[in-house]
Chains A and B, each alone.
Chain A
Amino acid sequence: MGLVEFLGQMGRDMQAFPFDDLSHIARYQARVKVNWKAFTDAFREGYHVAMVHGGSIPDSMNSPANPQGVPVSSRLYGSHYSMSTWANPEHKPTPSEALAWKMGMTFSPGEQLEMGGVNPSGDEIWWFDMNMVFPNFYAAMGPGWVFTYHFWPRSVDETDWIMNIYQMDAKDYGELIAQEHTKVLLRDLLYEDLSTLESTQRGMASGVLTELNISNSMELSVRQQQWVVQQWVNGDGDPGQV
């Protein structure tokens, strides 16, 4: 099966994105003592943002109107998954963030460029799409930027993680400095995301809990991964497009 066929509808939904107009602006790596599937679970929902990122981005994906940061839409594409996140219309930018948006663009909710290949459900309030390509590749796609994660299992409880960031080519030095804001904001958010994983792994490995509760709707993709992995492990392969 070729890549295009494997991606199926998810690939078609992102095909119009102007990937060629983006520059590769950053790469980060870490070796984390966590199972690769538990690692990807940390990027399959939006409710952690209010807690894990509450200090860094207190009002980007959540507000009193949407305290859990419930996504605006999600799509099951066979083995793959995509979710469109909600952006708080009342979001208040910090001084550096406002400056970045004035000179160019950054990761936080702001000016929405008209762009194909994103927001496949056409949601009115939309921040960016979180796309999980089975089994170990993630691409977040927003208006003018993409960042990706690769998850490479080393053992049952250790994973190499690589993050790459791409943004629209900077046409002047203001846009270039705004790109630096994008990098630092994303990088510090990942310091927060990575901080929870090893204790999750230790908790599971302790055997104290015999089961974990998974939310029906907010953790739809966590449930999907459990099922999809079983499909593949049992030799049934891709469950097909939904």
Chain B
Amino acid sequence: MSNLLPEPFREFESLAAIWSCGTERERHTVRLTSEFEQLQQLYDAVLPEIERIVAHLNQFPMGGLPTQEQNLLNLSFSCMEVALPVEAHGQSTVPGGFEPERFMVDF
């Protein structure tokens, strides 16, 4: 099977298989339906590496990423998606929040 991520970031291959989704709606859905431990795993692995990731991505023009780099960007977006749950909520959904089934994410 071909690699999802560029060579310097292969340690995140298994995370990318779950989290490298191309739209905000998909990333949000994966977050809502994943166990909290999975969110924590993504956060712990990727957040400390975001600046290394950005340095790599910034070699390419805006809007012009090859597929593997696009996957890496989407993985970083997912890291932000899980940040507030990990840092504040302690769970995958918003505690006491409005029902996710009725909250539409359009993009």
Interface positions of A (Cβ within 8 A of B): 25-32, 55-56, 94-97, 99-100, 102-103, 170-174, 176-177, 180-181, 183-185, 187-188, 190-192, 194-195
Is B33 interfacial (CB-CB < 8 Å)?
no
Q: Which 3 A-B pairs have the closest CB atoms?
A: A191-B97, A96-B83, A194-B98
CA of A176 to CA of B61, assembled, Å: 13
CA of A52 to CA of B75, assembled, Å: 30
- Report chain B residues within 8 Å CB of A29: 104, 106
In the complex, are the beta carbons of B73 and A184 less than 8 A apart? no
| Contact flag A188-B97 (CB < 8 Å), given A29-B106, A174-B58, A177-B50 | yes
CA of A30 to CA of B105, assembled, Å: 9
> B interface, by DSSP: helix, strand, loop or mixed?
helix
Closest to B57 in A: A173
Is B8 interfacial (CB-CB < 8 Å)?
no
- Report chain A residues within 8 Å CB of B106: 26-29
CA of A94 to CA of B87, assembled, Å: 7
CA of A187 to CA of B47, assembled, Å: 20
In the complex, are the beta carbons of A184 and B51 less than 8 A apart? no
Interface positions of B (Cβ within 8 A of A): 24, 28, 43, 47, 50-51, 54, 57-58, 62, 73, 76-77, 79-81, 83-85, 87-89, 93-98, 100, 102-107
CA of A184 to CA of B94, assembled, Å: 11
In the complex, are the beta carbons of A188 and B103 less than 8 A apart? no
- Report chain B residues within 8 Å CB of A183: 24, 80
A101 to chain B, nearest CB (A): 13
A87 to chain B, nearest CB (A): 18
B102 to chain A, nearest CB (A): 6
In the complex, are the beta carbons of B77 and A192 less than 8 A apart? no
> A interface, by DSSP: helix, strand, loop or mixed?
helix
CA of A27 to CA of B81, assembled, Å: 15
- Report chain A residues within 8 Å CB of B47: 95-96, 99
CA of A190 to CA of B84, assembled, Å: 13
CA of A185 to CA of B88, assembled, Å: 11
| Contact flag A195-B98 (CB < 8 Å), given A95-B47, A173-B62 | yes
| Contact flag A28-B104 (CB < 8 Å), given A55-B88, A188-B84 | yes
| Contact flag A26-B107 (CB < 8 Å), given A192-B94, A195-B96 | yes
| Contact flag A30-B103 (CB < 8 Å), given A94-B88, A173-B73, A177-B76 | yes
B93 to chain A, nearest CB (A): 8
- Report chain A residues within 8 Å CB of B77: 177, 180
CA of A183 to CA of B80, assembled, Å: 9
- Report chain A residues within 8 Å CB of B51: 99, 102-103, 174
CA of A174 to CA of B52, assembled, Å: 10
In the complex, are the beta carbons of B89 and A56 less than 8 A apart? yes
In the complex, are the beta carbons of A195 and B73 less than 8 A apart? no
With beta carbons under 8 angstroms apart, the residue of B50, B54, B88, B105 that contacts A56 is B88
